[in-house]
Structure 1
Amino acid sequence: IAKMVPVLLSLPLLLGSTVPQGTQAGPYLLTFLYTGLSRPSKGFPRFQATAFLNDQAFFHYDSESRKAEPLGPWSQVEGMEDWKKESQLQQAREEIFLETLKDAMNYYKESTGSHTFQGMFGCELQNNRSSGAFWRYAYDGEDFIEFNKEVPAWVALDPAALNTKKKWEAEKVYVQRAKAYLEEECPGMLQRYLNYSRTHLDRQEPPSVTASSHMAPGQNRTLKCLAYDFYPQGIGLHWTRAGEMQKLELERHILPSGKGTYLSWVVVGVPSQDRAPYSCHVEHRSLAQPLTLLWDERQTASAEDKVETPRPQ
């Protein structure tokens, strides 16, 4: 126990990705996502951890490399973290994390099959002040245990977690340290990281926008408006018909592009006899004013066409 709990107390938690991006004052989030597998498939590590600043992954560790390594623009930043020391810390976390997975499996007498243990924990700053934090775990996709810093106490969310709760609360001082970690240590760490990262996290990348049309024989036409290469994530995207917003959408998605930006699209159906003008409207923080991309069916010359507006400069 004396070995387990202090290491766990150094683990930072995931505040959902749906928290809106803020102004220069935040919110900013430091989040860690941990995953342990009892029987990993080929090509998957037994344990891996990824740390995020807001929605941007900034370092990764896994049980194959045994190294914590900065990602993306943070690989060019000097002095943000002692990566050798961070690697050693992640190795200790890996050991404790997989031990807890084994405890849960033993409780349910699950010696066969593949089982998963996940941890999410971290903190948030708004206007340079701590504005939220949480710390929770899941076993095979179901809630397992979480820390309630108001009580403070570990709360078992699964029968097997009662054993874990007893281990982690064997000495009351460890509960107080967990509370201190979430309320003081994690926000302090996030503030230090922001000294190196604020410019990158506050950046605004405007979207490029295209509109396309498709009509299969005997079917209605579909119009698709695609916005891509934008940051931050929040975006307003919709079609209008003769100036009126269309609410009966066939599709609406927003996804990471894989290069630190996002892409989003919205699709509507248009009856074959409809000749009204359609426009795609785009609103994003990076734009001084909304973009409007006109699609006029009367200008369509074939069953599939495409128009594009250049990316704002």
Structure 2
Amino acid sequence: MVTMVPVLLSLPLLLGPVVPQEAQAGCYSLTYLYTGLSRPREGYPWLQGTVFLNDQAFFRYDSASGKAEPLGPWRHIQRMKDWEKESQLQKFREGIFLETLQDIMAYYNDSNGSHTLQERLGCELQNNGSSGAFWKSAYDGKDFIEFNKEIPAWVPLDPAAWNTKKKWEAEEVYLQRAKAYLEEECPRILQGYLNYSRHILDRQDPPSVAVTRHTTTGENTTLTCQAYDFYPRGIGLHWTRDGEVQESESGGDVLPSGGGTYLSSVVLEVSSQDRDLYSCQVEHSALAQPLSVPWDSKQETGARSSGETQSQ
């Protein structure tokens, strides 16, 4: 049986935001995310973990390979980390994770069922020098247990979690180590990663922007403005009509677009007879000033085709 002692260096969650939604300049986070399945599909590992620096996937681990492997630009940074040693640590955490999942299933007397255990832990470094931390888990999509470092104590959020709390608080040293990990070791590890990663996390990729008009039979025309390939995540995107901001019909969500960048779009419905000047206004930290991409319906009087695009 795996002992609990360094559960302190252990596990993470998928309830709430997976990673901080927006990191201000000079703010950084290290987040460990694990998902364990009691009955995974054939060919899939029962445990998968991904580690993030801010919103960028840094390395992954799964129970099938037993290896921690760098992702994205970190694949090309030499001597940043001892990946063999990290693989051994992740393998140890895997044992703790499995034991926890089995204990929960035993409590509910459902050893043959299909269940999911998710955990999220990590820390943040703020631009004022302060740090924050989080450590929480969920079972079958519901909050299970979380660590309160101020007490310190494990806080049960599910009936089965009382047994987990008792096990993880069997000795006072376990609580103190968990608290020390969140408040001291995790920020120290994050600070070490930043020595190799600030140029990645602080980069500024300006958005490319395309505006598209789609007209169908009827009286309305759909104008779509899409910004893509930008980083960091935060962006302001809206339509204006003769300089006045319009309320969009849909869109505005910011989604990953691959390669560590993002995309977003806003949609506006207008009358097909409207001849006013519409523009897509874009604000992003990588732009020296807001960008305006116009769609001038006066240039296309009588057009009835779909998929017409203007871009910048």
TM-score range, shorter chain: over 0.9
Structure 2 unaligned segments of length 5 or more: list them: none
Q: What root-mean-square deviation, in Å, do the aligned CA atoms of Structure 1 and Structure 2 show?
A: 1.6
SS at match of 1:162: helix
Higher mean Cα deviation, 215-224 or 32-41? Answer: 215-224
**2:248 is aligned with 1:245:** no
1:280 Cα shift? 0.1
The question of whether the paired residues in 2 share the 8 Å contact of 1:13 and 1:30 is answered with no
TM-score norm. by structure 2 comes to 0.94
**1:22 is matched with which residue: 21, 24, 35?**
24
Counterparts of 1:43 and 1:266, CA distance in 2? 39
Residue number in structure 1 paired with 2:167: 167
Q: Quick one: which amino acid aligns to residue 8 of structure 2?
A: L
TM-score norm. by structure 1 comes to 0.94
**2:309 is matched with which residue: 275, 298, 306?**
306
1:172 Cα shift? 0.9
1:218 Cα shift? 2.0
Residue number in structure 2 paired with 1:32: 32
Q: Quick one: which amino acid aligns to residue 6 of structure 2?
A: V
1:112 Cα shift? 3.1
Residue number in structure 1 paired with 2:4: 5
The question of whether the paired residues in 2 share the 8 Å contact of 1:32 and 1:121 is answered with yes
1:77 Cα shift? 1.2
The question of whether the paired residues in 2 share the 8 Å contact of 1:12 and 1:30 is answered with no
The question of whether the paired residues in 2 share the 8 Å contact of 1:30 and 1:54 is answered with yes
Residue number in structure 1 paired with 2:44: 44
Counterparts of 2:216 and 2:289, CA distance in 1? 35
**2:148 is aligned with 1:145:** no
Q: Quick one: which amino acid aligns to residue 267 of structure 2?
A: V
Counterparts of 1:308 and 1:35, CA distance in 2? 41
The question of whether the paired residues in 2 share the 8 Å contact of 1:130 and 1:187 is answered with no
Counterparts of 1:273 and 1:250, CA distance in 2? 21
Once the two structures are superposed, what CA deviation does each residue of 1:47-83 show, in whole Å capped at 9, x if it has no partner?
0111110011111110111100111111111222111
SS at match of 1:129: coil
Q: Quick one: which amino acid aligns to residue 106 of structure 1?
A: A
Counterparts of 1:66 and 1:150, CA distance in 2? 34
Matching of residues 1-313 of structure 1 within 5 Å? 3-11=2-10, 13=12, 16=17, 17-23=19-25, 26-127=26-127, 129-300=129-300, 301-304=303-306, 305-309=308-312
SS at match of 2:183: helix
Counterparts of 2:151 and 2:208, CA distance in 1? 48
Once the two structures are superposed, what CA deviation does each residue of 1:293-312 show, in whole Å capped at 9, x if it has no partner?
11111212343211011xxx
Relative to 1, partners in 2 of residues 1:219 and 1:108: Cα closer, same or farther, differing over 3 Å? farther
Q: Quick one: which amino acid aligns to residue 22 of structure 1?
A: Q
Counterparts of 1:43 and 1:235, CA distance in 2? 39
The question of whether the paired residues in 1 share the 8 Å contact of 2:20 and 2:54 is answered with no
Higher mean Cα deviation, 4-13 or 70-79? Answer: 4-13
Number of aligned residue pairs: give it. Answer: 306
Q: Quick one: which amino acid aligns to residue 6 of structure 1?
A: V
